[in-house]
Amino acid sequence: MNLETDILVIGGGSAGSLAAIVAKEQNPVANVLVIEKGEIHRSGSIAMGMDALNIVVQPGITTPELYINSALIATDGILDYKPSFVMAERSYSILKRLEGWGIRFPTDEQDKYLSLQVHAKGKFLLEMDSPDLKLVLAEKLKEAGVKILNRTMVTSLLETNGKIHGAMGFNLRTGEFVVCSAKATILANGGCARFSLPNSGYLYGTFDYPGNAGDGYSLAYRAGAQLTGFEYTSCSPLIKDINCPLLYITITRGAKVINAFGEEIELEYLSTQTMLKELREGRDPIFIQLSHLPEERIQEIERILFTTERPIQKRFWENRGINFRDGLIELGITEYQLCGGHGLTGIVVNEKTETTLEGLFAAGDVACVPLQHLTGAFVFGEIAGENAVAYARKTQHKKISESVINDEKQRLFNILDEEGNNSKITVREFEYKVRRTISDYVVPPKNERKLQQALWWIPRFRNEMKNIQVRDYHELSRFEEIKFILDCMELSVYAALERKESRWGWFHYRTDYPQQDDDNWLKHVVLEYGKKSGEPQTTLVPIKTKED
């Protein structure tokens, strides 16, 4: 399938959907195409809906400057001023856009939005009642006339002399090879949820959307873009055995966190680091306790958990025989992930969502705007749509080389072994080994020897991929995802080796450099593909302040 479009959006989650909608608003006659690996009605990290808009600066109540102060605390200073300021500045207009689409934001008796304290400073999180937010976005895409290509995986960006002019991939069900020429390309296909293994050992039992295997990170890296924040390996204390969201919904509504000795864990604000410390230091298991709350508050929590945040929870708790009125909710540590929404990892972008490659924009979890959450996905999706249209207006389509197309097509389909050679290892087994190794050597506590052990494994894994059994197009997609995960593993190791200090609490704790060192390391570790070496090249880049 050969396609031509003005704007190509890779990823149909929150950021990608809004980017495509805004692109059509900016230029209704433009051709806008979304390529989505899943299905547009239930794709991306939220999949269904959300109970809150995490960052909203309400005029007269909070300010972008106060948000920046709070974010600097959360990121230990590794934060460029302009992108985060722009996100905060435009957050209220995003709320109003969503309200115009029928999304409900509850208010109190004074008609003020209900806000919750989850940041170190200021109440920026606003409650939202939208269990079907993703369906709303899908409907708006349809109304705007955006073309959707579902169940299609992008395997390579088309790049010439530092300029992106489209992408290639294939349909996960039919195997149809897809080539798309685009004047402007927006990457919005998430972070890397499938990084280390969940404690359950189940490959897809991740906190974030398991379809996010670092596709966008790898695609941008291989095309020559700069990336950063890969040493920030984050995890969360969430519901043990199911890894479902819980903390923002319960703690902000009066729940207590208690340890194995029945002692309440004091939280200055919603700090996962405090809870992780209890787990690491042997005061586990730790629990969420709701029994002291009034019945109406417990019912409110149940309504949110059982309708918006993974409705499977209702059956989970019923099967375990646990009632929130007298039982405890046990917490466990999730797998480690790399993410721009919940973390500091991603493609280097400016406040215009421009990457370091011409014609390539990035928004949402794939982009590095630290701790941007859903607000950042919407704000930068909006900005990406605006700027991609402006770029496309002054750009012409580039003819795609037939040899480039044939090379990628041959590479992909030569992997297939439809006869099913049973002497080979399965895709699932191989991914398990890769992620088990990440759990062993890449996540905290880190040190030079462990990280070097990880580097020893990476070329061996890549070489052994020829022994993976790939019988159909679905398994071919999983094969490609292992490549993406290995790229993320390598980027994380190189970044962690470079940052010779400990920072962000547990998330980058090095036992050989246990202290935080602001004098030498208050800067970004930027990664770029080494065209000669084939390995990541690291550069230290100063933090950009308000004056820069």
Q: Which residue has the tokens 């099967």?
A: 319
How is domain 237-333 classified at the architecture level of CATH? Alpha-Beta Complex (3.90)
Cβ count within 10 A of residue 191: 30
> Among the residues of 499-543, which ranges form H helices?
518-521
pLDDT for residue 419? 64
Q: Any idea what DSSP says for residue 228? A: E
Per-residue confidence (pLDDT) for residue 121, from 0 to 100: 87
**Cα four-point dihedral sign 172, 177, 183, 185:** positive
Question: How many Cβ atoms are within 10 Å of 535's Cβ, its own excluded?
Answer: 13
CATH topology of domain 2-190+339-402: FAD/NAD(P)-binding domain (3.50.50)
- Is 412-526 CATH 1.20.1440.230? no
> First-to-last CA distance in the chain?
45
According to the model, what pLDDT value does residue 64 have?
97
Helices (H), 46-80: 64-74
Whole-number percent of the chain with pLDDT over 90: 82
pLDDT in tens, 107-154: 998 999 999 888 888 899 999 988 899 999 999 999 999 999 999 999
Nearest to 219 by CA among 176, 152, 159: 159
pLDDT tens-digit map of 491-541: 999 999 999 999 999 999 999 999 999 999 999 999 999 988 899 999 999
**Cα(199)–Cα(292) distance, integer angstroms:** 30
Q: How many CB atoms lie within 10 A of CB 323?
A: 13
The β-bridge partners of 182 are 5
Of 48, 44, 119, which is closest to residue 88 (Cα–Cα)?
Answer: 119
Two tokens, residue 260: 């194995």
* Domain residue ranges in the chain: 2-190+339-402, 237-333, 412-526
pLDDT in tens, 9-21: 999 999 999 999 9
Residue 102 pLDDT > 90: yes
Rounded distance between C-alpha atoms, residue 489 and residue 528, angstroms? 14
Q: Are strands 360-362 and 177-187 parallel, antiparallel or unpaired?
A: parallel
* Structure confidence at residue 28 as a pLDDT band (50, 70, 90): very high
∠ CA 180-186-189, nearest 5°, is: 95
What pairing do the DSSP bridges indicate for beta strands 2-10 and 177-187? parallel
Banded pLDDT at 270 (limits 50, 70, 90)? low
pLDDT digits (tens, 9 = 90+) for 216-230: 999 999 999 999 999
* Cβ atoms within 10 Å, residue 383: 25
**Calpha distance 188→9 (Å, rounded):** 7
**Residue 120 confidence (pLDDT):** 80
From its phi and psi, is residue 431 left (phi > 0), alpha (psi between -120 and 50) or beta? Answer: alpha
Among 113, 120, 82, smallest CA distance to 379 is for 82
